[in-house]
Amino acid sequence: MPVFTISGMILRSLFGRPATRMYPAVRRDDLKGSRGHIEIAIDDCVFCGLCQRKCPTEALAVDRNAKLWEINRLRCISCNCCCEVCPKKCLSMAGGYSAAVSSPAEAEKHHA
């Protein structure tokens, strides 16, 4: 019996469709409920730093004096904690994927 099971798997693998997509050339539609990535309406931000304190991975850096808000997207786990704590609601989770990167320098270039 195991011979027939293995033969069936081999035939499905040879003549079936591939299980993966050629990302980024072939993109998958966003799934309902997927978090995506963080976006900020910087004009509404008061630079209070609550998002930085709430972030479990320390992916956010807020400097009130310099009016600077930065995110390290390679550290961000898209947990939504920063969005929930923001008093001005200027942070939000945007649908879709972030661009694929292989280094921190590329991440900053794509999400500056």
All domains in the chain, ordered by first residue: 32-110 (3.30.70.3270)
pLDDT band (50, 70, 90) for residue 98: low
pTM: 0.62
Residue 87, pLDDT score: 95
69: helix, coil or strand?
strand
- The answer to whether residue 112 scores a pLDDT higher than 50 is no
pLDDT of residue 54 exceeding 70 = yes
**pLDDT > 70? residue 11:** yes
Cα-Cα-Cα-Cα dihedral of 35, 37, 41, 42, to 10°? 150
Mean pLDDT of 3-27: 83
| Number of residues written out for the chain | 112
Angle at 80 (CA atoms; ends 86, 64), nearest 5 degrees: 35
On the question of pLDDT at 105 being above 80, the answer is no
Is the pLDDT at 34 greater than 90? The verdict is no
